Amino acid sequence: MQKTSVIQKPKKGMKSNAVWGYFFVMPWLLFFAVFLVYPLLLAFMNSFLDVSMLQPEKSTFLGFENWVNVLKDPLFWRSLMNIFFNQSIFIVLSLVLGLFFAALLNEIKFAGSIFRTIYFIPVVMSVTVALFIFDQLAEPYGVIQLILMKLGWLQQPVFWRMTEWLPMPVIAIFSAWKWFGIQVVILLGGIATIDKEIYEAAEIDGASWTQRFFNITLPLLRPQIIFIVTVNIINGLQMFTEVWVQQRDIMGGPYHSFLTPVLLLYGQAFQYDHMGYASTIGIFLAVVIFVLTRIQFGITKFDREEGL
Strands 49-50 and 60-61: antiparallel
pLDDT > 80? residue 12: no
Task: Judge contact between 235 and 244, C-beta under 8 A.
Answer: no
What is the per-residue pLDDT for 10? 55
* Out of 13-22, 93-102, 281-290, least confident range: 13-22
Q: Is the pLDDT of residue 106 over 60?
A: yes
- Structural contact between residues 240 and 83, judged by C-beta atoms closer than 8 angstroms: no
What's CA 252's distance to the chain center, in Å? 20
pLDDT at 7 over 60: no
Residue-wise pLDDT tens digits, 145-184: 899 898 888 888 888 888 888 999 999 999 998 988 899 9
Q: How far is CA 102 from CA 48, 117, 135, 180, 182, in A?
A: 48, 13, 27, 10, 10
